[in-house]
Copies of this chain bind each other. A is one copy, B any other.
Amino acid sequence: MRIKFFSGALSLFTGLSLFSLSSLSASAATPASISSPNGNIKLEFKLDNLGAPLYSISYKEKTLVADSKLGLVGSEAEFISGFSIASVDTTSSDTSWTPVWGEYASVRDNHREMAVKLVAPNPERLLTIRFRLFDDGVGFRYELPLQDKVNYLTLMAEKTEFRFCDDHTLFCIPGDYDTDEYLWSETSFSSLPEALASYAGHSEAQRAGGNTIQTPLLLKTKDHVYVNLHEAALVGYPAMLLDTNTARFSLSSHLVPDRLGVAGYLQLPFSTPWRTLIISDDARDILASQLIYNLNEPCAFEDTSWIRPMKFVGVWWEMFVGHKKTWAYSDDYRAKPGITDYDKLTPNGRHPANTANVLKYVDFAADHNIDAVLVEGWNQGWEDWCSFRKNRQFLFDAPYPDFDVDSIQRYANSRGVKIIMHHETAANAADYERQLDRAFAFMNDHGYDAVKTGYVGAIIPRSEHHTSQWMVDHVLYVADQAARHHIMVDSHEAPRPTGLCRTYPNWVAQESARGGEFESMGGNPPSHTCILPFTRLKGGPMDYTPGLFETRLSYYGEGKTEQAGTTIARQLALYLTMPSPLQMACDLPENYLRFPDAFKFIEDVPVDWKDSKYLEAEPARYITVARLDKNSDDWYVGAITDHNARTATIDLSFLPVGVKYEATIYEDAPDADWKENPQAYRIRKVKVNSRTRLRQHLAPGGGCAIRITPISK
């Protein structure tokens, strides 16, 4: 039966002649405007003489974004011009909310809002554009209300412009439909083509082409105004890239299409994600901003007691550095999951996800205040890695023969350690959904409460990209289904986060950027972790995997020559500068046992915070931050620099007046250097109080980590 329904469906829409030949009426309209609560940011909205919506933003009385277009283009209707303003509603709101975890125990949401209702004729089209101004920036989104003449919108493009006024500095990565695992360029509008050319041949993924870059994007004006441009609450919509007009210093939205060229399939009513600009002339405000979380919906769960921030070690780094160790149990690449009898397969003897090895990690975690152990390579399917080309790669409820899930869980339980599940999907999201219920039931049955997911390769369904609408929907579906099973999610190779972890706080972390693993694949320069907190991290925590103590890969003697752009002291600082409720100690236990006094900091450092104070910051250069433990009165400080040595000034005036503290300082030795002497650190204790101002030497590529504990009377 097919024809019947189509004629039925057509008749439903009888009379909805969506396009008309009559000319669009031009609407002259008075500009509408709104300011941030402190008045520093002003936004003006108007229609041009064709009735096309325009907005502009000024910061401290200087134009930051000049008149820029707004609009949506669907196959069934365009929302671009011909509008008149039906109403402008302005409201203000000052509330606060309590995150389940994060950098602050409480987050203030103080904003003014302006909702501009637009109407266009022939056929009638309704569009609301909602602006919210905070002291630290702007968010706006499109809202397509329920309306008589448009029901579905096959979205072809969003026409949002961001017209900046000068040749600003850009901190950016190339536009790509499938990956964001790039090193960052510090460039400018005019130099962008050259910067992007340097990425040629980088990736297997699909580059958007042209002068297209990704969000979160950081801009810096010649007046030292910083702007983080990103989006909030990406739900039911594709991710946004930005096309650059390098001559006009202008950016415009470039929605990630599916492979049929369609950006999104919408049904009205629908609200797009928020387009966000975090704005300040103090770089520290960019780091402190909670604007993107404020634009997300409140927590969707009544009970969040099962969500627990945690640190973990993992059977993982071994596969990157250790004597050709593998995720696969056997070297027979022709093995097929669900078909091969693994008990009959010859083991390769280089498979660390085996029971004995996992138990060693469990012991290490239990002995060192680490909550959990991630195990990768535990399940059947790694032998014949081949994403995109087959409908089933992995089984998610089938351990390898040498991984005794029951005895591992019994032992881990007895030692108070959790095992973290790993679900690599080979980017076959379709098959992962097939197996999802069973996979989560398997986790529940065996005591797992957190999963690291992965989407390495080209996506199945084959119409999709990693960041097209269907995949955006998929990862949220996985997080939501996981919540129903009381499971926390750490998604890798998923669309970059947009603050959804406020609404779904079981979605504790994502990768969605070039992580620490790349220290074994070309390396990350020291500046890399000085830019990520200004960009990628604004959407949510990153599973960056800090804690690398053996930074020279030549140590493992396999011809590898990479060296991580870091000292040991800097690795400790990353636990503060890269905050996440799910924080790995990435290195091998035996490496930690070589430096037990330094590892003590990782044992001690919390992963959830009552308060945070950004003390010093400049993108790609340095960050110094202090954080107050959520569960004690201990403060922690982390400071990092780029490849240049630096003296960090750590003003402890945030400490309560009159209270005495002891600071344990983990610092680069005077002769430390990421390249020549990365493992030279010193640990010293000093008495401090609110009047203390520490001046800390940071080595090239170095850092400093401090624990500040009240001295009991």
A residues at B contact (CB < 8 Å): 1-9, 12-13, 146, 151-152, 154, 179, 181, 203-205, 236, 258-260, 262, 265-268, 320, 333-334, 336, 384-386, 388-391, 430, 433-434, 437-438, 454, 456-457, 460-464, 469-470, 473, 477, 492-493, 511, 515, 517-518, 520-521
Contact = CB atoms under 8 A, between A and B. Distances in A.
Given A2-B493, A5-B457, A388-B265, A462 B258 contact: yes
Contacts of A456: 1-2, 5-6
Given A1-B511, A2-B203, A334-B146, A154 B389 contact: yes
A9 B430 contact: no
Contacts of A268: 334
Contacts of A267: 336, 384, 386, 389-390
A152 B384 CA distance: 9
A604 B705 CA distance: 86
Contact of A203 (B3, B204, B390): B3
A355 to B, nearest CB: 24
Contacts of A517: 1, 4
Main secondary structure of the interface of A (DSSP, over half): loop
A151 B463 contact: no
A461 B430 contact: yes
Contacts of A515: 1
Contacts of A4: 320, 517, 520-521
B389 A152 contact: yes
A255 to B, nearest CB: 16
A265 B391 contact: yes
A550 B456 CA distance: 59
A230 B266 CA distance: 40
Given A267-B384, A386-B9, A391-B265, A2 B461 contact: no
Name the residue among A7, A267, A388, A515 with the largest chain B CB count within 10 angstroms.
A267
A463 B473 CA distance: 17
Contacts of A5: 385, 456-457
Given A267-B384, A388-B265, A334 B151 contact: yes
Name the residue among A391, A464, A511 with the largest chain B CB count within 10 angstroms.
A391
12 contacts: A1-B517, A3-B518, A5-B457, A6-B204, A8-B385, A151-B334, A258-B462, A265-B390, A266-B390, A267-B336, A267-B384, A462-B464
A518 B205 CA distance: 47
The 8 closest A-B pairs by CB, nearest first: A461-B461, A463-B463, A462-B463, A265-B389, A437-B437, A5-B456, A9-B385, A152-B389
A391 B267 CA distance: 10
Contacts of A2: 179, 181, 203-205, 456-457, 493
Contact of A433 (B1, B154, B430, B462): B430
Contacts of A521: 3-4, 7
Contacts of A236: 391
Nearest to A262: B462
Given A267-B389, A461-B463, 9 more contacts: A3-B181, A5-B456, A9-B385, A12-B385, A236-B391, A391-B473, A430-B430, A434-B477, A437-B438
Contacts of A385: 5, 8-9, 12
A334 B678 CA distance: 63
Contacts of A1: 181, 454, 456, 492-493, 511, 515, 517
Contacts of A266: 390
A464 to B, nearest CB: 8
Contacts of A386: 9, 151-152, 267
A699 to B, nearest CB: 28
Contacts of A146: 334
Contacts of A12: 333, 385
Nearest to A180: B2
A434 B266 CA distance: 19
Nearest to A260: B462
Contacts of A457: 2, 5-6
Contact of A434 (B7, B433, B511): B433
A520 to B, nearest CB: 8
A634 B456 CA distance: 62
A151 B336 CA distance: 11
B511 A390 contact: no
A3 B6 CA distance: 45
A460 to B, nearest CB: 8
A320 B4 CA distance: 8
Contacts of A334: 146, 151, 268
Contacts of A434: 433, 477
A22 to B, nearest CB: 25
A259 B151 contact: no
A597 B712 CA distance: 99
